Structure 1
Amino acid sequence: MKNLVVLIIALFAFFGCGEEESSRATFKEFGPNEEVALKDVSGKELTLVRKNGGFAIKNDESKVLMIDIFGTFCPPCQKEAPELTKYQVENKDKFTLIGLTHFENVTDEYVLNEFLQKFHAYYFITNNQKINDRLVEQIVRDIEYKHEISLPFKVVLKNGEYQILTDVDSGKYGVKYYLGGIKVTKMKEDLAKIYETK
């Protein structure tokens, strides 16, 4: 009996790894100028376009874009949602925040009720796992991020180019992502620098 349990665990591990490798092997890169139609959990639509090695908002490409890869279950994601909403509202002419649900399989209604409304996350949130997973994989490839993603995970783009940000852990400037809950004051400083650049 013990040998059977060991065999089952070994087979699960073997086939589980094979499926993950297979999905990575079949990943389809986004091509130049490829468009990605997104729909948020409340029905609004927005289109991203592949540009300069990253993504921009179609017909609004000069706006600074923050992509927040998050989970509705994630305490830091819940905690920072109201501050991100406030920043989005105060800077709507030059900044757009898009949330991509990741590592979960929930309905749009669940995201709407249990995250957006409960934690005042009134920004664009898309819950299409097929599209979100492809975008997340492209982002980590684009910035050459070699580790496992932890949530929340954010990138900032301007004109399709990934921007340099302050490392959440070390406080040093020089990474292309925010990993974990952010200090909004530091985020504001980074974004102010980005707005000033051409």
Structure 2
Amino acid sequence: MQFKTIAFLSILSILFFAGCDSKENKEETSDSKIEKVEKIEKKTEFQLKATDNSIINIKLENDKIIVKEHPGKIILINFFATWCPPCKVEIPNLIKLQEDYKNDLVIVSVLLEEMKTNDEILAFIKEFNINYIVTNSTDGFEFAKESGGVKSIPTMYLLNKEGTIFQKYVGLVPNEMMEIDIKKVLQK
């Protein structure tokens, strides 16, 4: 009986403290080698389509991530997938943050999953009672790559009101830690 309890707690803690691998092909192709040598100009503007059919325009500018639709707001960008257990576990925390800081904070979840229809994502939103923006756009993968190379999910960026990255979170993050960071950004 004790063995089962210890095994269960061990598995639960592994899930809690781990993120999901992005399942990205790790092999370096000849094209990627050429890109490194030639320093091809990176894409800096992205249009992410939200599930409500609105467009979220994002611009990478120097060390900033500008979300044009929400100037003067603190932005929490959340890279996730519907199949990722830690991503699902963090949803109630994100819902609470959006409720508690609705006047100052905007959460934008960027889906990193191919071949998901908008209807499937809307069903996911309804199932989890999500109250923040969720995007389902092919540009999401490119945005993840260009914004710092998201290696695992969940990964989140907390941006201050000017769009500077205040904090990067990888894996599950306690709600209290994010709240402390949001309050620090609000005080500045």
Matched, 1:178 2:188: no
Structure 2 gap segments, 5+ residues each: 1-26
Aligned-partner residue type, residue 75 of structure 1: P
3-state SS in 1 of match to 2:60: strand
Instruction: Kindly indicate whether the alpha-carbon contact (under 8 Å) linking 2:77 and 2:158 is maintained by their aligned counterparts in 1.
Output: yes
Q: TM-score, normalised by structure 1?
A: 0.70
Counterparts in 2 of 1:91-110, with a 5 A limit?
91-110=101-120
Aligned equivalents of 2:52 and 2:40: distance in 1? 29
Instruction: Kindly indicate whether the alpha-carbon contact (under 8 Å) linking 2:60 and 2:147 is maintained by their aligned counterparts in 1.
Output: no
Residues 20 and 66 (structure 1), Cα distance of their counterparts in 2 relative to 1, 3 Å cut: farther
Report deviation, 1:28: 4.7
Aligned equivalents of 2:101 and 2:75: distance in 1? 11
Residues 58 and 80 (structure 1), Cα distance of their counterparts in 2 relative to 1, 3 Å cut: same
Counterparts in 2 of 1:11-160, with a 5 A limit?
17-18=28-29, 21=32, 28-31=41-44, 35-58=45-68, 60-113=70-123, 115-129=124-138, 131-140=139-148, 149-158=151-160, 159-160=162-163
CA-atom RMSD in angstroms? 2.5
Aligned equivalents of 1:134 and 1:27: distance in 2? 14
Q: Which residue of 1 aligns with 2:164?
A: 161
Identity %: 23
Residues 19 and 40 (structure 1), Cα distance of their counterparts in 2 relative to 1, 3 Å cut: farther
Aligned equivalents of 2:65 and 2:54: distance in 1? 19
Residues 59 and 112 (structure 1), Cα distance of their counterparts in 2 relative to 1, 3 Å cut: closer
Structure 1 gap segments, 5+ residues each: 1-15, 142-147, 166-176
Q: Which residue of 2 aligns with 1:194?
A: 185
Runs of 4+ with deviation above 6 angstroms: none
Aligned equivalents of 2:34 and 2:157: distance in 1? 23
Instruction: Kindly indicate whether the alpha-carbon contact (under 8 Å) linking 2:112 and 2:141 is maintained by their aligned counterparts in 1.
Output: yes
Aligned-partner residue type, residue 42 of structure 2: E
Aligned-partner residue type, residue 111 of structure 1: I
Residues 37 and 104 (structure 1), Cα distance of their counterparts in 2 relative to 1, 3 Å cut: closer
3-state SS in 2 of match to 1:42: coil
Aligned equivalents of 1:105 and 1:23: distance in 2? 29
Aligned equivalents of 1:125 and 1:52: distance in 2? 25
Q: TM-score, normalised by structure 2?
A: 0.73
Q: Which residue of 2 aligns with 1:4?
A: none
Instruction: Kindly indicate whether the alpha-carbon contact (under 8 Å) linking 2:111 and 2:140 is maintained by their aligned counterparts in 1.
Output: yes
Report deviation, 1:89: 2.4
Aligned-partner residue type, residue 121 of structure 1: I
3-state SS in 2 of match to 1:60: coil
Aligned equivalents of 2:35 and 2:141: distance in 1? 11
Aligned equivalents of 1:67 and 1:19: distance in 2? 32
Instruction: Kindly indicate whether the alpha-carbon contact (under 8 Å) linking 1:71 and 1:104 is maintained by their aligned counterparts in 2.
Output: no
Aligned-partner residue type, residue 154 of structure 1: M
3-state SS in 1 of match to 2:179: helix
